[in-house]
Every structure is written in C-alpha cells, then in structure tokens.
Chains A and B, each alone.
Chain A
Amino acid sequence: MAEEVNFICTACPQGCSLTVLMENGEVLGVTGNSCKKGLDYAHAETSDPRRMVATTVKIRNGFHPLLPVYTERPVPKPLIPQVLAEIRKVEVEAPVAMKSVVLENVLGTGINVLASRSMPAKG
C-alpha cells in the first residue's frame, strides 16, 4: 500500500511543502518541490533524516561559563537525545580555539563536536 508523507523542505529558506509518495520505505514520487534540492531532501528526510546539533558545554576558567559547540555535520535525527547526553558530559578548559574538537566521533557516528567560537581564559 502506497502512502503519502507531507513535510516542509528545509533545503533553503523558501520552505516548499513536499508530498512524498512512499511504499515499503521506497520513494515512489515527490511533488511540491521547486528544485532538485527539494527532491534530494525528500529522499534524505524519508530514509535518513539528519540534523545539525548545537548546544553548550561547561568550560573551566573561561571568559564565559559556557562554550557553544556544534556537530561538524548533521547527525541522525533519532540519535539527537543521546548525542546531547554525550555532549552534556563534556567539560573543557579555556583557552579553546574555534573549530577545535571538543568531542571526537560522537556515538561512533564519525562526526566530531566542535567549538563554535574561540574562548579565551578568564581575566
């Protein structure tokens, strides 16, 4: 039995409403997209939805108490709670350089968690 899945494309700010016709996990057709990116997005979102994750970690002796961090690539959406839990365990020491690795290969995804900014030491 084929089924219709509706969601909004986030490949660009336009935000097309996509309708994806699916059967047994296979995409039969996509409508509502206005470009090729939308087509790719529809396939990705139905097979392996991924999201960038951005949060903060504690930083000792930093100019601020928290260091913002982000995943260098989108992580599988179902893993987000676990990714956050892993990141929450991290505490770093200032100074830290922007894009330095704060957590390597989070949950074996092959994706590193990076510092969103440089953080000088206090004072």
Chain B
Amino acid sequence: MLSKQIYDVVVVGSGPGGVAAAIEAKKAGADDVLIIERDTELGGILLQCIHNGFGLELLKEDLPGPGYAEHFIKEMLSLHVEVLLNTMVMDITPQRHLFLSSKEHGYVEIEARAIVLAMGCRERTRAQIRIPGMRPNGIFTAGTAQRWVNVEGYMPGKEIVILGSGDIGMIMARRLTFEGAHVERVLEIQSYLSGLSRNLVQCLQDYNIPLQLNHTIKRIMGKNRVEAIEAVQVDEKWNFVPGTEEIIPCDTLLLSVGLIPENELSRKAGVKLDPITSGPYVDETFQTNVPGIFAAGNVVHVYDLVDWVSEAGFSAGKNAAKYAIALRNAEARYTPLVAGKNVRYVVPHKLDKSTLEKEDVRLQMRVTRPIEQPVWVEVHDGENLITRKAERYVRPGEMVTVVLKTKNYADVAKSSKLTIDINPR
C-alpha cells in the first residue's frame, strides 16, 4: 500500500533516467520519494537490451543493459525509495496531482511536491513512414521483437528484413542471427547509417548481413502473415528509382526507424513540447514550463548513450528534490487557521508565521449562532492556549476580531495549526 498521500518527489518511469532521478532526489534531501513503473519489475527497456556496451562512461565497465539497470536499482533501493510496480500513471494535473491505476493498489490519487517525468520514448511505426501495401502480421518494431526474443522467449520470425539502420534494428539483426533466424538484409532510406558505427561493424559486418543505403520498401505483400517485401532504391529526394525494384521473400519485417519521446502524460499536465525534439522545453535544471514538473532522459530528447540518460536523471532528481524541499519549507512556514467551536469562518485562512515575527495580525471571523452572555474568543494550537479575548456577547451579524501579537510568535512558530473557539466565560 502507498505509505503517503503527499510525496516530496514522484518519479514516473523506472528506466535509467527515472532510477537516477530517484537516487539523486533522495541524496539531495527529499524524504518521501516514490518511483512508479508500469511493468512487472524495475528497469524499463534496459531489461530487454541484453547486449553489452552500457556503462563505459559512467561505470568504466562494459555491462549488458540489465546489469547496468540493476547497478543503479540496487543503489536506489538501498536509499529507501518507495516503489510501485504494475502501475500506470493515467493523469497528471498542473497542480501535481497524479492518478494511478493498478490491480494491486486500485485507482488512486496522490500529490507530489515535485515530479520527474521519465517515461522514455517509443518507436516510430509503419504509418509514420507510410509504407504502402498489405497489413499482415509480421511487421514489428525492433523493440517489440526484442522483448519477444529476449524476455518472453519466443521468436517472431524466421526470414527477416529490417528497415532502418537504427541501433536497435542492427542489434536485433545480430540477436536474431544468434538464435537461428536468417536476417536477409537491412535497408536504410538515407545515404548514411542512422545508428552507431560500432553496431554496423559488430552486428552486421561480423555476420555478413548486407546493409543497403538509399533503399526503402515500396510495398508489403501477404494477407495473413508477411510473405515478401518489395525493396526499391531511392534518389536524394527519396523518390523511387524505377527499375531497381526487388521482391524479397520474408516472413517478418522489423522497423528501426527512429524513436519519439513519450509525452502524452506531460501534455495532460500542461507541459509544453518542442515540436523538433517532441520533448518538453526544459531549463538547465530540467524543469519544464510547469513549476515543479521536471523531465529527464529520453522523454526530453533521444540520447545515444544510456550513461548520459542517467546523468540527466541525476540532475533532474536533484533539482526536483530542491524544489520539493523549498515547497515543504514554505508549507511549514504557514499555519492554517481553523474555524472551531461556534465559529463559521476565519479570515485569513492561513498565516505566514514570519509575518507575525514582524507585525501583529488581525483575525476576523463570524459566529455560527448567537451567545447572549460573556464569552472567550480563544486561539489555541490544539494543546496550548495562545491568546484569548473577552467579548460581552457574540452574534452572527457582528464580525468578531482577535489580534495575534508579535509576542505570540514563539508559540505560533511551534504550531502546525491554529484553531479559534468561542466558549461562554
């Protein structure tokens, strides 16, 4: 069960950015830090990225994705960050209320003094690059295939063509080859590689998987399952070059055609997005345009290296903690004024304690019912009487006033709430 209704920092997403943010938020002094993950375990997409190459910058070690994730998750858990798994954040308001949905905890609303958005990114799909043809099964994003092969334990294809030379696509080419599938080739519409050259060497060249630059797919064939694709060369304006068509039989088409920051929640919170990056506009503290809402990692813009995502997370987490602590201190400076016995309302509703340090504060109120005899108007903090004033009678039609004096400051400073009661003398 959730331990709090209000958290200092709530982190949405437990990929490298989110975990780093939670770690640094704790280290920077935030008390109640909650991290929310929609999947069954912490780690995000790294858990399916079983290849090496993570951590060289930050840990000086060549780790596989799950190992890199686990390194930071361990640290985070040792700092007593609260974790919610299998939980989807449905909505975030600009006032930093979050609506969460899960089997285990139900549908709940919580508040955060600061939020770090760390939802990562999603893969571009077929429609966004508008590949014509049939719509059979067997067209997957590289990341979906990766989850199947590496986590779920199933092979989504035997004869495979990959469109796009993004890193996940090339890594999946090697991965599927390792597991006995045949990767026919990788097609790239641009005249240059879109992923890292290391992956070109180690994922394609090492296994003689051809890469065709300036090539794309003219159409997809197959009613129920992919049966073939028609590849075609393009000119510099991406027009098909007639006569270069080639029909390639295959049962699977993997797409590795780019990543887009995942910001549907951010929009709901009123976060403004940059149309170029598709991520939030952020300042140097990774704060978005909405005060107290920060964003870190691939949700802001898509990074090359996970190490840099972690670094962004550290920074966002630290700044979120600072914001939350400042807000908490500000909250602590205020004392609510509560209408107690026979008091209908009190103005002001809350009192900035530091004001009382410098000057007297007048409290005005109206009573619920008349008392035609002498009364005390008492201000107390639940245990101790702070001040009181005598009146000969009180009536709803006549406003009652009581003044808190600077000499009351010491008592008020200790209180978390002031209540005003009116009792017969």
Contacts and interface: CB of A to CB of B under 8 A. Distances in A.
Q: Do chains A and B touch in the complex (CB under 8 A)?
A: yes
B50 A10 contact: no
Contact of A65 (B47, B152, B205): B152
Nearest to A52: B52
Given A8-B201, A15-B198, A63-B41, A68 B70 contact: no
B410 interface: no
B136 interface: no
Given A64-B151, A77-B206, A116-B67, A54 B52 contact: yes
B360 interface: no
B200 interface: yes
B333 to A, nearest CB: 45
B202 A56 contact: no
Nearest to B53: A52
A97 B180 CA distance: 28
Interface in A104-123: 116-118
B64 A10 contact: no
Interface string B37-70: 0001100000100111100000000111111011
Contacts of A64: 151-153
Interface in A40-68: 51-52, 54-56, 63-66, 68
B403 interface: no
B197 A117 contact: no
A8 B206 CA distance: 12
Contacts of B326: none
Interface in B61-83: 62-67, 69-70
Contacts of B205: 7
A26 B70 CA distance: 43
B202 A116 contact: no
B39 to A, nearest CB: 12
Given A13-B198, A54-B52, A98 B305 contact: no
A84 interface: yes
Contact of B70 (A13, A55, A56, A98): A98
Nearest to B62: A52
Contact of A7 (B47, B69, B201): B201
Interface in B99-153: 150-153
A78 B198 CA distance: 18
B398 interface: no
B274 interface: no
A22 B152 CA distance: 46
Contacts of B65: 116
Interface size class of B (residues with CB under 8 A): 20 to 34
Contacts of A10: 197-198, 201-202
Contacts of B151: 64, 66
B202 A55 contact: no
B150 A68 contact: yes
A54 B50 contact: yes
Contacts of A99: 67
B66 A68 contact: yes
A53 B83 CA distance: 33
Contacts of B304: 13
Interface in B169-200: 175, 178-179, 196-198, 200
B66 A117 contact: yes
Contact of A8 (B50, B66, B197): B197
Contacts of A70: 50, 52, 64, 67
B153 A65 contact: yes
B49 to A, nearest CB: 9
B177 to A, nearest CB: 10
Contact of B50 (A7, A15, A56, A77): A56
23 contacts: A7-B201, A8-B198, A8-B200, A8-B201, A10-B198, A13-B196, A13-B197, A15-B196, A15-B200, A52-B62, A54-B50, A55-B50, A63-B41, A64-B152, A64-B153, A66-B151, A70-B67, A80-B206, A84-B178, A116-B66, A116-B67, A117-B66, A117-B67
Interface of B: 40-41, 47, 50-53, 62-67, 69-70, 150-153, 175, 178-179, 196-198, 200-202, 205-206, 304-305
Given A13-B196, A13-B305, A64-B151, 6 more contacts: A13-B197, A15-B196, A54-B51, A70-B67, A99-B67, A116-B65
User: 8 nearest interchain CB pairs?
Assistant: A15-B197, A117-B66, A68-B50, A10-B198, A116-B64, A65-B153, A52-B52, A116-B66
